Amino acid sequence: MKKVKMFLMNATGLAAVNITLRFVAVSFNAYVAAKIGSESMGLFTLVMSVYGLAVVVATSGVNLASVRLTAEKHALLERRGAGDGDYRRCSSSVIRSCILYGALFSSVTSAVLFFLSHPVGTYLLGDVRCVKSLKVLSLSLVPIALSSAVSGYFTGIRKVYKNAVSVIAEQAVKIAITSAALTAAVPSGSDPIEYACLAVVGGSAVAEGATLILNVLLYALDSKRIPGAALHKENTGGCRATLREAAEISLPTAVGSYARQGLITAEHLAIPWGMRRNGSTSSQALSSYGVLQGMVFPLILFPAALLTSFSGLLIPEFAEMKSTGQTGKIRKAMERVISVSLQFSVCASAVFILFSRYLGDSIYKSDDAGRYILIIAPLIPIMYLDSAVDAMLKGLGAQLDSMRINIVDAAASFVLVVILVPKFGIAGYIAVIYICEILNDTLSLVRLFSITKARISVRRVVLVPLFSTAASLGALFFISRIPLPFPARSGTVFHMLIYIALYAAFSLLGTSMSDGKFIHSCKKNEAGDIS
């Protein structure tokens, strides 16, 4: 019970931080979208697709190396009864080796992106307005890699609150710089769309630099105190980290990440290209792409922050159950995770379907956004479930299987985008999203079931969400007929909250009935009445 309580406390705290940050990000994203327009959002999203690949290469798994080296070396020191000085020297060697590794990859990547920004923007992205933004973003790659190394150290010593402080500070700086730049007058002779994109990426670049400074300060002020006598020199063997150790941990993971992110970047570059081949102008292609990728998906994935918080904590739990051979517990936990994920995601999907028009209009002032929300919303249960399944696979030691599935998914997405988007335009891309999300989830679930040999209760996993949705919609139908003393917008929000509350109540009732607890309690009450 103590472990369950600790898990719930950590998950709740992490969920609160993630939801708050995601809310701020979505709100700021809506502000930026209203300020710069859908075409500028498309240009910004296009630039960020190339930047995403550059970040993956620049970091090259340095965070994982920092986490593992810190945790492993400190555990070794703890077993040997080390003192404060030994911990400080060990930490310094970890940070030094990881920073050297990160600096090596990030500096080379930064130089390549900076000097190739013109051909990348002109020929690869097909828009010369991307060039300045790519050059600005190239300057942020070194700070990102070094910050990733330091944040991994904080995770390794179980001081994740310092990472939370850094993320919050980064968001604050980015919002302040970007807002100031967007409210300033466009310099004479500048293209408004190019300047808008440059203002947004400039805020991100400055924020990354500020994050590095804050992380270095937090590391310098770190005061980890563990009692124990200082070790003799001959007892400190294996307690110092080296660049080779960092590379041995990082590179195998990094290579898979290169392949996947490279395919994702190629896919995103092919979308506007395919839409132009379909007959759209460059402006129309960027606008549609910007609405879908820059507005709709950040909003659709907003509730997933809750599931992501719990999913990340599932990895060590499943790893421990596997190491101790608790096969029965693994199967029960897997069924519970899938059930909760589907119940939550079906509720989210219904909310987005019912209130898509209102969400698109009130958040983005865009009818197109509302229409795309309605189209993508039915896919939410599959999208949300995928993150939970990936976490369970990693916890069960099948992270390479998960990586292979993600690479297959990315490759299939790219091929289908090249084939379908030139023929069907944005409708073709939406079809690609559906096909590949279903493919990814199916392959992941098949692999998970083959490892665990588990069977899923249809009542809990399928019938409970359906029952909860139908009952909630029926109750909401009658409640919505009651006149409310609110304006129309407030009434819509009220009905949205009522639906979520009804769904939660019916979901609890349905789960109780599927477990047999409800029937058992009814029988118990009847027996009590008879007596």
Q: Residues 386-433: pLDDT tens digits?
A: 888 887 887 777 777 888 888 899 899 999 999 999 999 889 999 999
pLDDT for the residue numbered 515: 62
270 contacts: CB under 8 Å, gap ≥ 6:
414, 417, 418, 421
365 torsion bin: left (phi>0), alpha (psi -120 to 50), beta (else): left
pLDDT for the residue numbered 392: 83
- Dihedral sign for Cα atoms in the order 60, 66, 69, 75: negative
Helices (H) and strands (E) in the chain, counts: 22, 0
Straight-line distance from the first to the last Cα atom of the chain, in angstroms, rounded to the nearest whole number: 36
337 contacts: CB under 8 Å, gap ≥ 6:
314, 388, 392
pLDDT, averaged across the chain: 81
CA distance 402 to 447: 9
3-state SS record for 275-286: HHHCCCCHHHHH
Check pLDDT > 50 for residue 231.
Answer: no
pLDDT for the residue numbered 312: 62
Task: Compute the chain's Rg from CA coordinates.
Answer: 25
pLDDT tens, 506-522? 888 877 776 655 445 55
| Angle between the N-to-C axes of helices 380-395 and 399-424, in degrees from 0 to 180, rounded to the nearest 10 | 150
Q: Kindly state the helix (H) or strand (E) to which residue 511 belongs, with its residue range.
A: helix 488-515
Check pLDDT > 80 for residue 319.
Answer: no
| Residue environment code for 161-176, b if the CB has 16+ CB neighbours within 10 A, otherwise e | ebbbebeebbbebbbe
Helix%, strand%, coil% for the chain, nearest 5: 85, 0, 15
Check pLDDT > 90 for residue 372.
Answer: yes
CB atoms within 10 A of CB 477: 9
pLDDT for the residue numbered 248: 83
Domains of the chain, residue spans: 23-224+238-259, 303-456, 458-530
CA distance 13 to 419: 44
324 contacts: CB under 8 Å, gap ≥ 6:
none
| Angle between the N-to-C axes of helices 517-530 and 488-515, in degrees from 0 to 180, rounded to the nearest 10 | 70
pLDDT for the residue numbered 227: 41
CA distance 127 to 512: 57
pLDDT tens, 70-81? 877 777 776 666
Which pair of structure tokens corresponds to residue 76?
């070794």
- Please check whether residue 166 is in contact with residue 151, taking contact to mean a CB–CB distance below 8 angstroms: yes
Single pTM value for the model: 0.75
Which pair of structure tokens corresponds to residue 298?
């950040």
Which pair of structure tokens corresponds to residue 32?
């930026």
- Please check whether residue 172 is in contact with residue 103, taking contact to mean a CB–CB distance below 8 angstroms: no
